[in-house]
Structure 1
Amino acid sequence: MAAIGVFCASSRTLDQRWLDLAFDTGAELARRGHTLVSGGGCVGMMGALTDGARSAGGRTVGVIPQALVDLEVADLASDELVVTDSMAARKTVMMDRSDAFLTLPGGLGTLDELFEVWTTATLAMHTKPMVLLDTDGFYRPLLDWLTTLTDQQFIKPAGQSLLLIAETLPAALTLLTPPSTLH
C-alpha cells in the first residue's frame, strides 16, 4: 500500500464537522492499508486525522519542525516522528516520504503545502497523485480563481489538470489511489 501525505488545519477552534472529516479520513486510509504521513501535530484536524488512522490500526508518520515540538503540539503517539529544523524542511520530508497527497480543508499552512507539492509537480519534479477534497465547496472560491489564472495563461491547462478535485471522501480516495498506479 501507499504512504499518503495529508495536509490539513491544525487550528484548535474548528467546527466539529471538520474534525470528524479528518478523523474519518485517517480511519479510511488505515482501513485501506495506507500509511498516513502528516504534519506531526496532535491538535485540530491534524490530531483528529492521526487519531482516526490509529483507531483503525493504521501506521502514522509525523513530520514536525522543532519549533512546534517546543510548543508541545507534537503527536508523540506517532509510529515514527521525524523532527525537522524548519517548516521548509518539513515539506521536503513529507514530499519525499509520500506516494500521493490529499489536501483537506485548511488555512495558510495547508495552502502552502498544497502549492509546494503542486508547483513541483508542474515542474516535473514528481508525478505523485494530488487530490484536493472540496467538501461543501470549501475550496470553490480558490478553484474559481485558479481557473481565471489558467484562462489568462498564468497557469498552463496541463498544470492545472495535475490537481484532481473531489467533493467527497470516497471520491477523493478513489482518485488518490487508482489500483494500477500505487502499490
Structure 2
Amino acid sequence: MKTLTSVCVYCGSSSRVADVYKDAAHTLGEGLARHGIQLVYGGGRVGLMGIAADAALAAGGSVVGIIPEHIQSAEVEHTGLTELIVVDSMHTRKRMMVDRSDAFVVLPGGFGTLDETFEILTWKQLRLHDKPVIIVDVDGYWRPLLGMVDHMIAQGFAHSGHRALFTVVDEVDDVFNALAHEPEPSLKIRSQKL
C-alpha cells in the first residue's frame, strides 16, 4: 500500500452517545496525528466529528474540515482547524472529501454517516475509485449493518465479492494495521467524473 497522507473520517455529529464511541473518535484522531496522516472530515465541532478533530489537533496533527454553507450557518463549524473549506452543497462537500483523501475510515454515526459510507462503497463498486474503506465496528455498533450486507448478498441484490469493498476492524488501533496491509490498487479506474 502506498504511503497515506490523508484519511477521510465519516462519523456522527451527535454528542448524546455512549462514551465508548467518544473514546473511539478521540483515539482515531490522536492516532492519525501520531502517524502523520491528515484528518479530512465534515468540518463540525460537535459529536464524534468534533472529538476526532480536537484530538488530532491536540496531538499536533493537520485537520481539514469541509462544510456546506447551510450547516455552517447553523454555527456548528469548527473554527480551530488547520483548514476549513465552506462549500455550496452536500454533494460538493462529499466530492471534495473524496478528492482530498487517500482512504476512508467509518466510525459509528447516523443517517449522514450511512449516506457517506454507502456512496463511497458504491463508487468503489462502480470502479470510480480504489481507495481503502475501513469500518470500525466499535462495541458491535455496525453488526446489524454487516448483517444487512450479508442479507443483500444472500438475496442476490449484491455480489459476494462486494464484501471485499471494505475491511471491518473491531478496534481503532486495528485501523492503522489494516491500512498498512491494504493491497495496491488493482482495479482499472473508470475515467468519468464521480
With the shorter chain as reference, the TM-score category is over 0.9
- Quick check: 1:121 aligned with 2:128? no
Which segments of 5 or more consecutive residues in structure 2 lack a partner in the other structure?
A: 186-194
Alignment deviations for residues 107-151 of structure 1 (CA, whole Å, 9 cap, x no partner): 000000000100000000000000000011101011011101111
Q: Do the aligned partners of residues 62 and 177 (structure 1) sit closer, same or farther apart at CA in structure 2, a change above 3 Å counting?
A: farther
Residue ranges of structure 1 left out of the alignment (5+ in a row): none
Matches within 5 A, 1:133-172: 133-172=136-175
Give the aligned partner of residue 8 of structure 2. 5
Structure 2: distance between partners of 1:70 and 1:141: 34
| Alignment-mate amino acid for residue 81 of structure 1 | L
Report the TM-score when normalising by structure 2.
0.89
Residues 30-69 of structure 1 correspond to what in structure 2 (within 5 A)?
30-69=33-72
Q: Write the distance in 1 (CA, Å) between the matches of 2:33 and 2:102.
A: 15
Q: CA deviation at 1:55?
A: 1.2
Q: CA deviation at 1:180?
A: 7.3
Q: Quote how far apart the aligned CAs of 1:12 are.
A: 2.7
Total equivalences in the alignment: 182
1:112 is matched with which residue: 109, 115, 132? 115
Percent identity, aligned pairs only, is 40
Q: Secondary structure at the residue paired with 1:13? A: coil
Find the counterpart in structure 1 of residue 27 from structure 2: 24
Counterpart of 1:88 in structure 2 is 91
Report the TM-score, using the length of structure 1 for normalisation: 0.94
Structure 1: 4+ residue segments shifted above 3 A: 177-182
- Does the aligned pair in 1 maintain the 2:24–2:138 contact within 8 Å? no
In structure 2, which of residues 13, 18, 21 is the aligned counterpart of residue 15 of structure 1? 18
Q: CA 1:98–1:125 in 2, change beyond 3 Å: closer, same or farther?
A: same
